[in-house]
Amino acid sequence: MTQNSINPATGVCFEEYASLNEGQIRAALADATAAFESWRELSFTARAKPLLRAAELLEQDADRYGRLMAEEMGKPVGEGRAEAGKSAWVCRYYADNGARFLAPEPVETEAARSLVTFRPLGPVLAIMPWNFPFWQVFRAAAPALMAGNTMLLKHAANVPGCSLEIERIFTAAGLPEAVFQSLLVGSDRVADLIGDPAIRGVTLTGSTPAGRAVASSAGRHLKPCVLELGGSDPYVVLGDADVAAAAEVCVTSRLINTGQSCIAAKRFIVVDNVREEFEAEVVRRMAAITWGDPSEPGSDIGPLARTDLRDSLHDQVARSVAAGARCLLGGTNPGGPGAFYPPTVLTDVQPGNPAYEEELFGPVAAILPVADDEAAIETANDSSFGLGAAVFTSDPVRGERIATDRLEAGCCFVNDFVRSDPRLPFGGIKDSGFGRELSQFGIREFVNVKTVVVAA
Q: Give the pLDDT of residue 233.
A: 95
> Quick check: 5 and 158 in contact, CB under 8 A?
yes
Pure H helices in 102-159: 135-146
Domain 2-229+430-454, CATH 1.25.40.10 — does that match?
no
Q: Give the pLDDT of residue 456.
A: 83
User: Taking Cα atoms as reference points, which of 265, 255, 263 lies closest to residue 302?
Assistant: 255
Give the integer Cα–Cα distance in Å for 173 and 268: 43
Count other Cβ atoms within 10 Å, centred on residue 40: 16
Q: Which residues of the chain have pLDDT under 50?
A: none
Domain 233-414, CATH 3.40.309.10 — does that match?
yes
Q: Give the pLDDT of residue 220.
A: 98
Q: Give the pLDDT of residue 335.
A: 86
Active-site residue (options: 71, 228, 279, 281): 228
Give the integer Cα–Cα distance in Å for 400 and 419: 17
pLDDT in tens, 410-445: 999 999 999 999 999 999 999 999 999 999 999 999
Active-site residue (options: 91, 262, 411, 412): 262
Q: Give the pLDDT of residue 336.
A: 80
Give the integer Cα–Cα distance in Å for 228 and 205: 5
Domain boundary assignment for the chain: 2-229+430-454, 233-414
The amino acid occupying position 310 is R
- Please confirm, yes or no, whether 262 is among the known catalytic residues: yes
65 in helix, strand or coil? helix
> Quick check: 124 and 150 in contact, CB under 8 A?
yes
pLDDT in tens, 245-268: 999 999 999 999 999 999 999 999
Q: Give the pLDDT of residue 243.
A: 98
- Please confirm, yes or no, whether 37 is among the known catalytic residues: no
Distances from the Cα of 437 to the Cα of 164, 199, 286, angstroms = 23, 19, 32
Q: What is the pTM of this model?
A: 0.97
> Quick check: 49 and 174 in contact, CB under 8 A?
yes
H/E stretch holding 80 reads helix 77-101
Q: Give the pLDDT of residue 54.
A: 98
